[in-house]
Chain A
């Protein structure tokens, strides 16, 4: 890893004085409200689906997830997702919608290089990191559980 260079000490205050800071408070609030509402609606549908005879709670959760992923992918393809994401930020990125969008957008983007070498190779370009660290941390957690179980 390369050490990050520092902005020249005399220039740092100038660049900070003129830059517009990210509206952090606004972004956090909007993300909290939008993300929370999105999850609440999904939760409500999960409850409704679980009322259908023969569908377990676990199945209902999977079905809702599939619906949310499909909707995020559809909105990405229609070119709407990135515009909403600019407004609500983490409100769309943290739920599974962000994961779906990262795969759909990469797959669409690299279609021009072909289905195999383009979409196939690049589809997980952004989502790959989530899977990499997801599996990595799952292994660590599983190991801890195993050790604690033995003790």
Chain B
């Protein structure tokens, strides 16, 4: 069944001929620029709308610019991309569809909420390893003002948010992956299963997604046959401070002890100690920009050698939430290594 480039172990695929993360780029808004990772963005907008007529147009513009930046950094042109895999948070993932219209390359639209960027990397690397493509562009982005009004309330509505709520990141990230040689290799991927323990509080996404993260981490370590110490850094995607604590607890109960200093969460990293974001950042753009900005740079500089990124997504909609359905969580993981 496999072509010799991949070995499958349960829900993990381990590459014997690993695809390369050729280049990556990240852009963000003003609040993200002021955060501790500000210097790791390739471009920062001074304004959340930057002259666009709507925030939705701004989100699309961010995605398009970050894609063009990643392609330029990879030394390619748009037409070199065999596939464009992209997703966002908006209804019918319009920001991605409109970006695909501009790029005019074979396109797959993805949705895994905040885990979308990593879902793209997984599918992209499997496509590369299968021999179906040579170069693939993966991207994802989100905008705080578009997500706020779609999932919660109008932006200026005065609602008192609880301490475990999270703030949607205004950012986007893009990566070019391919079969050629390079510094950073995608050595293994683990596709998440949907886990739902019945959490209905849409202000506690961390609590809803943490079990999915624990499930994927357990599967990945077991199926790849490595311990958590194998990685210099394990990164969860937007569990926030509350979800991160729950994740550590859940894994500890399963006998997996993550080193406090070598396990970080994108949602906690991106804004640092900023109290105005409550438990931390969230949104497609959070994992995308932290992975393809901050983490990519640290891998390139050799500061990190092995990183496991397990992005988490909450698969709810405003309708499902109002109809009192619980929140299904998913977590997709990808191992990036310098070889």
Chain A residues at the B interface, C-beta cutoff of 8 Å? 1-8, 11, 14-15, 17-23, 27, 76-77, 79, 81-82, 84-86, 89-90, 92-93, 98, 101-102, 104-106, 108-110, 112, 125-126
Chain B, interface residues (CB within 8 Å), range: 20 to 34
Q: Which residues of A sit under 8 angstroms from B158, Cβ to Cβ? A: 76, 81-82, 84-86, 92-93, 98, 101, 105
Cα A121 to Cα B52 in complex, Å, equals 23
Cα A17 to Cα B248 in complex, Å, equals 13
Interface pair B242/A105, CB less than 8 Å apart: no
Q: Which residues of B sit under 8 angstroms from A89, Cβ to Cβ? A: 160
**A114 CB to nearest chain B CB (Å):** 11
Within 8 A of A (CB), among B156-189: 156-164
Counting residue pairs across A and B whose Cβ atoms lie within 8 Å, the total is 104
Choose, from B31-39, B128-136, B194-202, B307-315, the stretch at the interface. B194-202
Contact string against A for B residues 29-72, beta-carbon threshold 8 Å, 1 for contact and 0 otherwise = 00000000000000000000000011110000000000000000
Interface pair A112/B56, CB less than 8 Å apart: yes
**B214 CB to nearest chain A CB (Å):** 11
Residue of B nearest to A15 (CB): B207
Within 8 A of A (CB), among B286-339: 323-326
Interface pair B325/A2, CB less than 8 Å apart: yes
A-B contact pairs, 25 of them (CB 8 A): A2-B325, A4-B200, A4-B324, A7-B197, A14-B246, A14-B250, A15-B199, A15-B207, A18-B246, A19-B242, A20-B163, A82-B157, A82-B158, A82-B159, A84-B158, A85-B159, A89-B160, A98-B158, A105-B156, A105-B157, A106-B154, A109-B149, A126-B153, A126-B154, A126-B157
Cβ 8 A contact of A19, one of B53, B149, B154, B164:
B164
Q: When A18-B246, A19-B242 are in contact, do A109 and B200 touch as well, CB less than 8 Å?
A: no
